[in-house]
């Protein structure tokens, strides 16, 4: 709890957190305004799809930078050295820091989209299960990319390295991952479709999208072809859960093993 309070006091004075959440609030309000003319029954479906499509641009890049700079700041201001001299290991520090940063980012996101539900209920017929799936998808994206950001902050020695790593990771998951898979799509068969599925769902954006769209009823997995049944050998929610656990654990381990002790401009 000490680390959560410390993280809050440090970020509440800065501009990065407020600018990030300010953009998320403004974009979501704009989408609500644009969707207000839609039908009462179908409007919520279109709004949720549009919200997700916009948030996958914003949440990953914001979390990458906020997570990276939150840890890099500890090295740059030499507070990390003081914290580690209190007989605390870097692994223990990173775990506490992870809990603090994740809490700081997830609570405002969840709080805002719960508040956002109030005007929605006057405009559309709400399916609380599908809206809950939307919030869960945002939480999962926040968990993954914040942890990746903290990994970046741990292994980086300069601000330019942070910017380069963050942009490269965002570009890979948003564009390059699917582009690489498309180049191998013609070679997919019954023999290798499960491996193709594993690689596809290694992208947290793809895993969150399939999870949300299945909750919205966009995809009907009750009547699948044999090939699609092999591709979807687990439920979308389980794929998403495995994805989050995988990146949380791997990012944390890389952050510990390849930790750089000093930061510089």
Scanning the structure block, which residue is given the tokens 């839609």?
Answer: 38
pLDDT tens digits for range 103-136: 989 999 999 999 998 888 888 888 888 899 999 9
Cβ atoms of 263 and 157 within 8 Å: the answer is: yes
Give mean pLDDT, residues 95-105. Answer: 89
Give 218's pLDDT tier (boundaries 50, 70, 90). Answer: confident
Is residue 153 over pLDDT 80? yes
Please, what is the average pLDDT of the chain?
Answer: 85
Domain ranges of the chain: 2-257
Scanning the structure block, which residue is given the tokens 């179908």?
Answer: 42
Give 263's pLDDT tier (boundaries 50, 70, 90). Answer: very low
Reported residue count of the chain is 265
pTM, 2 dp: 0.89
Scanning the structure block, which residue is given the tokens 């959440």?
Answer: 21
Q: Helical H runs in 116-175? A: 117-123, 128-155, 159-171
In eight-state DSSP terms, residue 222 is T
Is residue 180 over pLDDT 70? yes
Give mean pLDDT, residues 45-70. Answer: 91
């Amino acid at each position: 709890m000490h680390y959560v309070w410390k993280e809050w006091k440090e970020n509440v004075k800065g501009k990065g957190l407020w600018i990030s959440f300010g953009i998320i609030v403004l974009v979501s309000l704009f989408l609500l305004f644009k969707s207000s003319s839609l039908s009462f029954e179908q409007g919520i479906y279109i709004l949720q799809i549009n919200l997700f499509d916009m948030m996958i641009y914003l949440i990953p890049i914001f979390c990458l930078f906020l997570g990276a700079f939150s840890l890099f700041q500890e090295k740059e201001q030499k507070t990390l050295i003081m914290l580690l001299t209190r007989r605390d290991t870097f692994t223990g520090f990173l775990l506490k820091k992870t809990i603090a940063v994740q809490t700081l980012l997830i609570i405002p996101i969840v709080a805002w989209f719960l508040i956002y539900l109030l005007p929605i209920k006057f405009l559309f017929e709400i399916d609380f299960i599908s809206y809950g799936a939307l919030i869960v998808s945002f939480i999962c994206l926040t968990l993954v990319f914040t942890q990746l950001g903290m990994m970046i902050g741990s292994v980086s020695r300069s601000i330019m390295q942070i910017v380069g790593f963050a942009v490269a990771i965002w570009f890979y998951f948003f564009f390059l991952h699917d582009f690489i898979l498309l180049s191998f799509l013609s070679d997919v068969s019954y023999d290798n479709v499960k491996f193709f599925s594993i690689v596809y769902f290694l992208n947290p954006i793809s895993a969150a999208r399939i999870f949300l769209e299945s909750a919205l009823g966009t995809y009907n997995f009750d009547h699948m072809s044999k090939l699609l049944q092999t591709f979807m050998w687990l439920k979308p929610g389980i794929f998403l859960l495995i994805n989050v656990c995988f990146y949380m654990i791997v990012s944390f381990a890389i952050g510990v093993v390849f930790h750089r002790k000093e930061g510089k401009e």
